[in-house]
Amino acid sequence: MRMSVIGCGYLGAVHAAAMASIGHDVVGIDVDERKVAALDAGSAPFFEPQLTELLTKGRESGRLRFSDRMADAAGAKVHFLAVGTPQIPGGHAADLRYVDAAVEGLLPHLRPGDVVAGKSTVPVGTAARLATRIVDSGATLVWNPEFLREGWAVHDTLTPDRLVVGAEPDAAGARAVEVLREVYAAAVETGTPFLVTDLATAELVKGAANAFLATKISFINAMAEIAEASGADVALLADALGHDSRIGRRYLGAGIGFGGGCLPKDIRAFAARAEELGRGEAVGFLHEVDAINVRRRERAVRLVVDALGGLVFGRRIAVLGAAFKPFSDDIRDSPALDVAVRLRGLGADVVVTDPAAMENAAAAHPQLGYARDRDDALREADAVVVVTEWDEYRRDLSPAHAGGLVRGRVIIDGRNCLDAAAWRAAGWQYHGMGRR
């Protein structure tokens, strides 16, 4: 099927490449000429496993191209909206200017029978408003939220755990749903649930999912605060809770909290929209979820300060990680960089390393020191802080090897991803988040 993907950032670029890989004829459209040129040359403008390979194969097959001209969307049967929805400046609500601009630019190129499928994360009610703007073109709007995890985005696009399509309950909506079912036929045929809802429910699914995940993460971090005060071990607590089938162990890893370009802004926008609807009290707990998340970053800094006897000024601190999560170069609202910046603000000589996010981190925070090589960052360090759980740190770095490089055997495990017993046995002063 011929389709366009409007917006070629993280979501759009992955979606375009994945759709081409399963046989669709795809044009990705973005206003950023440099990004378009890179993608059209088969080069991903950000780090995401498998994406470069998909881009290369798509270009070689002739099924994938990129353009900075909206007119190139003409003739496509399905148009996916994949533009960003950041927070509005100075507020918590979602900024819909890019979504609105994408629709306005697309309108002249729509034909009767076309399907416009929204994938951007938007406040509930947005789809109904946009539908009134495209109805005169004869096209039909559906909402098809994305559920991608950075680092797993290609996998999640090709083998999703569910597909949600929201549509109006009329003949045009039903036809549009069947078009989307055809788009995702490969996944549907292998058993992926295909859920059809109204527009509002489809919009709420994404926001509700992120709100739940954020709440689960902040819950275990709140328990880490109690564990620290009482002498309990939050890792053992999480294991015990995880055996309850109603709760499960996933996302019960205490640490310095969540970040990135989705969860923080999405829960704030979700709460802001609830307030606009007069139901702010229903999600008032999300404000505390957000507050707990931010507190954990300060707690990691306090662990470093206490471990160094209350004084970090002039001390060399190796910060292992800059991206907000492994398998990504995304530093948006990164807890890892927040910890590094706070330590630098206390006068520490901070040296950051990361397998993928060095360039982004250095551009955003030039005041920090950087080392491309992990061992260079560790050399002569008075303390080590693990803030992104890359395999290079949690699995491949041995306590003995690290001990031969540092000046002081002090390690703060901001992700509770290390073997505490092994590090202590090697003579390290180990400190975890909410651990004994």
Render pLDDT for 240-274 as a digit per residue (tens, 0 to 9). Answer: 999 999 999 999 999 999 999 999 999 999 999 99
Say what the pLDDT of residue 84 is.
94
Interior CA angle at 397 toward 392 and 402, to 5°? 130
CA distances from 283 to 88, 266, 274, 278 (A): 20, 13, 7, 11
Q: Which of 329, 376, 381, 310 is nearest to 44 (CA)?
A: 329
Unique residue bearing structure tokens 């809802």: 197
The token duo for 21 is: 């890989």
DSSP alpha helix (H) spans, 282-332 = 285-307
pTM: 0.93
| Separation of CA 54 from chain center | 20
Distance CA 59, CA 61 (A): 5
Say what the pLDDT of residue 329 is.
96
87 DSSP assignment:
B
Q: Which amino acid is at 426?
A: A
Distance CA 58, CA 42 (A): 8
Say how many residues make up the chain: 436
DSSP alpha helix (H) spans, 231-281 = 234-242, 263-276
For the chain, how big is the Rg over CA atoms in Å?
Answer: 23
Distance CA 221, CA 78 (A): 42
Distance CA 401, CA 435 (A): 24
CA distances from 400 to 96, 192, 246, 426, 432 (A): 51, 46, 40, 6, 19
Measured on CA atoms in the order 401, 402, 408, 413, is the torsion positive or negative?
negative
| pLDDT one-digit tens code per residue, 43-84 | 999 999 999 999 999 999 999 999 999 999 999 999 999 999
CA distances from 212 to 207, 218, 270 (A): 9, 10, 11
Instruction: Return mean pLDDT, the chain.
Output: 96
Mapped onto helix, strand or coil, the DSSP state of residue 285 is helix
CB burial readout 125-138, b (16+ within 10 A) else e: ebbbbbbeebeebe
Residues that are catalytic: 262
Asked whether 36 and 67 are in contact (CB, 8 A), the reply is yes
Q: Which of 347, 394, 340 is nearest to 365 (CA)?
A: 340
Say what the pLDDT of residue 323 is.
98
Say what the pLDDT of residue 436 is.
82
- What's the average pLDDT block by block, 10 residues per block, for the chain (436 residues)? 96 97 98 94 93 96 97 97 94 94 97 97 96 94 96 96 97 98 97 98 96 97 96 97 96 96 94 96 96 97 97 97 96 97 98 97 98 98 98 97 98 97 97 93
For residue 83, report the phi and psi dihedrals to the nearest 5 degrees: -85, 160
DSSP calls for 35-52:
HHHHHHTT--SS--TTHH
Asked whether 361 and 368 are in contact (CB, 8 A), the reply is yes
CA distances from 252 to 257, 378, 416 (A): 11, 29, 11
Distance CA 258, CA 296 (A): 10
The token duo for 197 is: 């809802």
CA distances from 415 to 251, 263, 389 (A): 12, 18, 6
Asked whether 184 and 194 are in contact (CB, 8 A), the reply is yes
The token duo for 407 is: 């000046």
Distance CA 265, CA 87 (A): 6
Unique residue bearing structure tokens 């651990």: 435
Interior CA angle at 213 toward 207 and 214, to 5°? 85
The token duo for 396 is: 């491949």
